[in-house]
Amino acid sequence: MTLNPILSWWIMGPLSAAIGLGLGWVLVRSRQQHAPSADAGFRGWLFRGGLVLLLLLAACRPGIPGGTVEAAATDLNVFFVVDTSSSIAAEDHTPAGGQAARGPAASGEAAGGQAAGVPRLDGVREDIRAIARELGGARYSLISFDSSAAVRMPLTTDTSALEAAVAVLGPEVTDYSQGSSVTAARAVLAERLATARDSHPDRPRLVFYFGDGEQTSAAAPQALGIDGSLVSGGAVLGYGTRDGGRMKENSGDPTRPAATYIQDPATGAAAVSRLDEDRLRDLARQLAVPYLHRAAGDAAAPMLQQATPGTLVRTGVALDGRTELYWAPAFAAFLLALRETLLVSGQLRELRPARPVRRTPEPASPSAGRGPGA
C-alpha cells in the first residue's frame, strides 16, 4: 500500500502528531474521572477520536499499486477552455450522421423516429477525459466561461482533481444568463499561457477549446488577441448540429433535476441552439490550431493526431498505476459522524426550558392584625 497525501508530508506529519497527542490527552483525562458517567464519556471520546483518525487516514490517500499507464509527452501544459453557457446543454450531441430531436417529441424519441441526442456538455466531458488518458503525465488546467471566465483548476498533474472538476461542470444558471461571447475567456487564457511560459518556457502549451460557436451576446465577439508564441498546439472542438437542439433549464439547485426547456421569448416555443462552425473555424485560425467537429462515439486518438502533429511522441515509459482507497476511511468517518449527529439530536430534544415555579400564597392567620388587647 502507498500513500499520496493531499498536503505535503512536512505539513501532514506535524499536524497528525499534534492531533494524536491532543486526542491522547483528552482520553487519559476522561479515563481518570470517577464520575458515574465517566465510562460513557470515555466511549464517546473514543468514537470521536476514531472519526478524526479516519479523516486523517483519508487525507493521506492510501492506495494499492497495480497496472501501468504509458506516459506521453510528460512535459506538456494542457489548457482546457470550456463554454458553459446555456447552449452547451443543447441535446444534439449525436453519432456522426445522426440528428437530434427537436420540437415537442417525447423523451428518448425524436420526430421521424430518430433517437434524441444527449447534451453537448456530456460529449465535452468525455473528450476531456479521453485527452487526459492519452496525455498521461501532462499538466492540466481547466477554464470555463459563459458571461465571464473563471479558472476551475490551475495547472496540475493530479488527474483525480481534473476528474472532479470535470464532473461538476454544468451550464450557467438559466435565470442569471446575460448572453455570452465565444471569446469571453481570452484575457484569462492569455494570462495563464503567459504565466506558464514564464515559469517553464521549455514546456509546450496546448489549448483545447470546447464549444458550439453560438454568440448570444449582443456585441460582436472580440478577437482572441493571443500571442502565437504562447500556443504550441491543440484544437478547437465543435459540438452540436446545424439543425440544433433544445436546452433544459438549469435552476442552480443540484437536488432538483431540470424538467423544462428554455423558452424562446419571441415565439413562446422551446429555444433551439445551433452549431456555428464558421465562427469556430475563425477561432481556430486565431489560435493557429485545427478545427474538428466532434460527434458522439468519436475516438480521441485520431483527433489528437490532427490537433498537435509532431508533438505527441510516446515516451515508452510505463508509469505505475494505482487504485485509490481513500473512500473507505472517508465512508467509515461518515458513519461515525452520522452517529454523533443522531446523539446530539437526541440530546437537543431532551432539553426543555424549565417552567417557572408558581408559589401559592399562604392563608393569613386568624389572629393577624390583632393587637395585644384584642
- Model confidence pLDDT, tens digit, residues 50-102: 888 888 888 888 888 755 555 454 678 999 999 999 999 999 998 876 544 44
- Residue predicted with more confidence, 257 or 232: 232
pLDDT(317) > 80: no
Complete edge-to-edge strand list for the sheet that includes strand 2-3: 2-3, 62-72, 314-324
Least confident of 182-191, 340-349, 356-365: 356-365
Q: Is the pLDDT of residue 186 over 90?
A: yes
pLDDT score recorded for residue 102:
41
Q: How many helices (DSSP H) and strands (DSSP E) are in the chain?
A: 8, 11
pLDDT of residue 66: 59
Helices 38-59 + 327-350 axis angle, to 10 = 150
The residue written with cell numbers 487504485 in the block is 323
pLDDT band (50, 70, 90) for residue 233: very high
φ, ψ of residue 224 in degrees (nearest 5): -60, -40
- Among the residue ranges 59-68, 75-84, 201-210, 339-348, the one predicted with the least confidence is 59-68
pLDDT at 25: 84
Contact of 197 with 230, CB cutoff 8 Å: yes
Q: What is the pLDDT of residues 89-135, one digit of tens each?
A: 999 998 876 544 444 333 444 433 334 679 999 999 999 999 998 88
Look up residue 277 and give its three cell numbers. Answer: 462552425
Q: Looking at the predicted structure, is the pLDDT value of residue 216 above 60? A: yes
* pLDDT at 250 exceeding the cut of 70: yes
Percent of the chain with pLDDT over 90: 35
For cell 509527452, the residue is 73
Could you tell me the pLDDT band of residue 11, with boundaries at 50, 70 and 90? confident
d(CA 294, CA 235): 11
Instruction: Determine the 3-state secondary structure of 134 from DSSP.
Output: helix
The whole-angstrom separation of Cα 342 and Cα 351 is 15
Alpha helices in 176-298 (DSSP H): 186-199, 277-287
Q: Which whole number is the average pLDDT over 254-263?
A: 74
pLDDT of 270 reads 87
pLDDT at 339: 83
d(CA 344, CA 143): 42
**DSSP 3-state assignment of 142?**
strand
Highest mean pLDDT among 6-10, 93-97, 174-178, 350-354: 93-97
**Domains of the chain from N-terminus onward:** 2-61+326-344 (no CATH), 69-321 (3.40.50.410)
pLDDT at 372: 55
Cα–Cα dist 134/305, whole Å: 11
Q: C-alpha angle with apex 143: 140 to 148, nearest 5 degrees?
A: 170
What average pLDDT does range 261-270 have in this prediction? 84
Cα-Cα-Cα-Cα dihedral sign, residues 158, 163, 164, 165? positive
Amino acid found at 176? Y
pLDDT at position 358, please? 63
Is the entire prediction scored with pTM above 0.85?
Answer: no
Average pLDDT over all residues of the chain: 80
Identify the burial level of 364 via C-beta atoms within 10 angstroms of its C-beta, where 0-12 means exposed, 13-18 middle and 19 or more buried.
Answer: exposed
What would you measure as the largest C-alpha separation in the chain, in angstroms? 127
Q: Is 66 helix (H, G, I), strand (E, B) or coil?
A: strand
Greater pLDDT, 163 or 136: 163
More confident residue, 142 or 330: 142
| Strands 205-211 vs 77-83: parallel, antiparallel or unpaired | parallel
Residue 324 CA: distances (Å) to CA of 16, 58, 136, 280, 333? 21, 10, 17, 39, 17
What per-residue confidence (pLDDT) applies to 260?
A: 86
Task: Categorize the per-residue pLDDT at 240 as very low, low, confident or very high, splitting at 50, 70 and 90.
Answer: very high
% of the chain residues with pLDDT over 70: 78
- Taking the C-alpha atoms of residue 125 and residue 49, their distance in angstroms, rounded to an integer, is 39
How long, in residues, is the chain? 374
DSSP class of 268:
S
Distances, alpha carbon 267 to alpha carbons 178, 264, 271, in Å: 19, 6, 9
What Cα–Cα distance (Å) separates residue 307 from each residue in 166, 292, 296? Answer: 21, 8, 18
How far is C-alpha 159 from the geometric centre of its chain's CA atoms?
13
- Say what the pLDDT of residue 60 is: 84
CA distance 51 to 53: 6
Listed range (6-15, 45-54, 163-172, 294-303) with the worst mean pLDDT = 6-15
